[in-house]
């Protein structure tokens, strides 16, 4: 009896338990887990230009989400200060903004304070340079010829030259091209600092020697200057220092590197510069039609080897080399001779023709003309034939220098001669006698 009562009690209890569980599952379904969003850090201090990434891992701002939903979006309440691009924010200008991280209707906030960029300050050391043509210098923040110190967020800089003919730029390197001044600007954004650069010519250890030291060319004729192998030889003691050419009158003679071209009739000077030394090279341009062989006296002879020397050009010579005229250039006693049969005589060493006048120019050792005065008079009158109205002349030229000489008319031909000399420095800056003979046609 007792056993039956126990069994009945167990059955009643099981029924109660089973019945109770069944009712619970119907009336109380499971509760969905609540979404919680946490951000770390919850505030940021940025500088204009900074960018930050939001993400659940490996990001600048870590977003932790508790709940079923795992995707999030972000938005800024002040897009002028902080912009949003996907999961990335960017600081645009100084100010504050709240970036909201949203998961469904749940949000978390990150306060962002944006500061302006620190004012850039550039300092350069040294602030001036003295260079020689060919020198190069490097600009850099360290281990450079010019040290650039930058205070501020931006560390990149560029350099510019305001005179690229004097100082060129290649990356962070400057190069001195020719004598002059230039300012090199170091730029970081809109902020600049300046380095003043003075470029001096290279030192040429000796004087410039030029052979020949005068030139006559035809219109459109070209001649080349070179250390060797050119039409005009430029002698330099220090050949490491290059030379340049500049025409004093580009309308008469143009210059292209080391080549000159005759453009129109006239006289000018080519300035040859090497380092700190210069040489004024006289040059005359003539046209073939201007040549008047009657201005040459009697027969003159030119050896083939000397045809292009001393300013007498081949075209001029060929015009004169008919049965009555030929030309010779020879420095015999450094005076003017007329060709005599069986003798080597010549015009002076520099010959030019312009505006109906044939001229010869030369430098002789100081005192030579005075020493040869009697011989010169005999040559001018007796040998060359300018004995008519022959007289000594003297005057002061436009430079205030005393000029002496002789004038005479040819005894049989309508030609007038003027021979003059004065003391002047030659190409080597040596005091010399500078001589000139000019022969022009006169009316009969």
Whether residue 298 is predicted with pLDDT greater than 50 in this model: the reply is no
Say what the pLDDT of residue 31 is: 64
How would you classify the pairing of strands 180-188 and 191-200? antiparallel
Nearest by Cα to 122 from 145, 143, 139, 135:
139
The DSSP output letter for 422 is E
Per residue in 363-381, pLDDT (tens digit) is 677 888 888 888 888 878 8
CA dihedral 7, 11, 13, 15 (to 10 degrees): 180
Q: Within a domain: residue 9?
A: no
How many Å apart are CA 369 and CA 300, to the nearest integer? 23
Banded model confidence at residue 361, pLDDT cuts 50, 70, 90 = low
Task: Measure the CA–CA gap between 348 and 365, rounded to whole angstroms.
Answer: 15
Distance in angstroms (rounded) separating the CA atoms of residues 195 and 205: 30
> Of 164, 181, 200, which closes a domain?
200
Is position 161 within any domain?
yes
State the pLDDT confidence band at 309, using cuts at 50, 70 and 90.
very low
Instruction: Check pLDDT > 80 for residue 263.
Output: yes
- CA-CA distance, 79 to 95, in Å (whole number)? 11
- Give pLDDT, residue 341: 37
Task: Tell me whether residue 110 is in a domain.
Answer: yes
Residue 387, Cβ neighbours under 10 Å: how many? 14
d(CA 56, CA 75): 16
Give the span between the Cα atoms of 406 and 390, in whole angstroms.
Answer: 7
pLDDT above 50: residue 349 = no
Phi, psi of 247 (to 5 degrees): -90, 130
Which pLDDT does position 62 carry in this prediction? 95
The answer as to whether 31 is a domain residue is: no
Query: Do 254 and 263 meet the contact criterion of CB atoms below 8 Å apart?
Result: yes
pLDDT in the model for residue 170: 95
Is the model's pLDDT at 281 over the cut of 60?
yes
* Band (165; pLDDT cuts 50, 70, 90): very high
Residue 232 lies in a domain: yes
Q: Which of 19-23, 28-32, 248-252 has the lowest mean pLDDT?
A: 19-23
Of residues 363, 391, 393, 387, the one with CA closest to residue 210: 363
Within this chain, do residues 337 and 413 fall inside the same structural domain, yes or no?
yes
- Please tell me whether residue 279 adopts helix, strand or coil conformation: strand
Instruction: Give the pLDDT band (50/70/90) at residue 162.
Output: very high
Same domain, yes or no, for 331 and 380? yes
Answer yes or no: is pLDDT of 198 > 90: yes
* DSSP result, 61-113: EEEEEESS----EEEES-TTTEEEETTEEEE-SSEEEEEEEEETTEEEEEEEE
**Domain range for residue 411?**
291-441
- The mean predicted confidence, pLDDT, of the chain is 78
Helix (H, G, I), strand (E, B) or coil at 172: coil
Instruction: Report whether pLDDT(332) > 90.
Output: no
pLDDT for 240 beyond 90: no
What is the CATH classification number for the domain harbouring 157?
A: 2.60.40.1080
Nearest to 440 by CA among 412, 420, 414: 414
pLDDT band at 436 (very low <50, low <70, confident <90, very high): confident
In the structure, what pLDDT confidence band is assigned to residue 148 with cuts at 50, 70 and 90? very high
Of the ranges 172-186, 282-296, 338-352, 392-406, which is most confident? 172-186
- Mean per-residue pLDDT, 195-216: 86
Q: What is the average pLDDT across 186-215?
A: 88
The number of distinct structural domains making up the chain is 4
Q: Has residue 324 got a pLDDT over 90? A: no
Pair 54, 74: CB distance under 8 Å: yes
Contact 303, 328 (CB under 8 A): yes
Integer Cα distance of 195 and 172 in angstroms: 13
Of the candidates 53, 50, 91, the residue with the CA atom closest to the CA atom of residue 72: 53
Ranges 105-114, 266-275, 380-389: which has the least confidence: 380-389
* Same domain membership, residue 354 and residue 257: no
Residue 32's pLDDT is: 65
Residue finishing a domain among 115, 145, 167:
115
Question: CB of 5 within 8 A of CB of 13?
Answer: no
Domain assignment present for residue 326? The answer is: yes
Q: Which of 153-162, 312-321, 340-349 has the lowest mean pLDDT?
A: 340-349
Confidence of residue 138 (pLDDT cuts 50, 70, 90): very high
Do 437 and 295 belong together in one domain? yes
One-character DSSP codes across 330-354: --STTS-----TTS---B-S-EEEE
Distance CA 240, CA 258 (A): 16
pLDDT for res 288: 54
């Amino acid at each position: 009896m007792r056993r039956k009562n126990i069994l009945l009690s167990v059955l009643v209890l099981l029924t109660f338990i089973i019945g109770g569980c069944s009712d619970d599952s119907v009336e109380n379904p499971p509760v969905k887990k609540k979404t919680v969003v946490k951000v770390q850090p919850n505030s940021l201090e940025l500088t204009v230009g900074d960018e930050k990434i939001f993400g659940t891992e490996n990001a600048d701002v870590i977003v932790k989400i508790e709940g079923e939903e795992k995707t999030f979006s972000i938005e800024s309440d002040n897009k002028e200060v902080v912009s949003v691009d996907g999961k990335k924010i960017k600081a645009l200008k100084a100010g504050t903004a709240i970036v909201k991280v949203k998961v469904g209707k749940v949000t978390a906030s990150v306060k962002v304070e944006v500061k302006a960029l620190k004012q850039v300050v550039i300092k350069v050391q040294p602030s001036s340079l003295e260079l020689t043509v060919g020198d190069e210098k490097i600009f850099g923040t360290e281990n450079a010829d010019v040290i650039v110190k930058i205070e501020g967020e931006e560390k990149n800089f560029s350099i510019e030259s305001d005179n690229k003919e004097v100082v060129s730029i290649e990356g962070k390197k400057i190069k001195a091209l020719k004598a002059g001044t230039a300012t090199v600007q170091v730029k970081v954004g809109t902020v600049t600092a300046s380095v003043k650069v003075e470029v001096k010519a290279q030192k040429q250890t000796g004087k410039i020697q030029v052979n020949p030291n005068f030139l006559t060319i035809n219109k459109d004729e070209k001649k080349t200057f070179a250390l060797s192998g050119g039409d005009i030889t430029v002698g330099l003691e220090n050949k490491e220092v290059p030379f340049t050419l500049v025409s004093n009158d580009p309308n008469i003679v143009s210059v292209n590197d080391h080549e000159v071209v005759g453009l129109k009739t006239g006289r000018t000077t080519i300035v040859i510069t090497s380092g700190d030394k210069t040489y004024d090279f006289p040059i005359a341009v003539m046209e073939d039609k201007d040549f008047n062989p009657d201005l040459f006296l009697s027969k003159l002879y030119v050896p083939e080897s000397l045809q292009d020397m001393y300013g007498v050009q081949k075209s001029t010579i060929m015009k004169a080399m008919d049965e009555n005229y030929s030309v010779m250039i020879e420095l015999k006693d450094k005076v003017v001779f007329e060709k005599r049969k069986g003798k080597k005589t010549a015009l002076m060493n520099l010959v030019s023709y312009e505006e109906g006048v044939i001229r010869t120019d030369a430098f002789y050792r100081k005192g030579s003309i005075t020493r040869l005065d009697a011989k010169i008079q005999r040559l001018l009158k007796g040998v060359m034939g300018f004995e008519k109205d022959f007289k000594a002349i003297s005057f002061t030229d436009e430079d205030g220098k005393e000029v002496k000489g002789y004038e005479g008319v040819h005894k049989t031909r309508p030609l007038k001669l003027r021979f003059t000399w004065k003391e002047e420095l030659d190409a080597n800056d040596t005091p010399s006698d500078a001589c000139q003979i000019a022969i022009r046609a006169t009316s009969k």
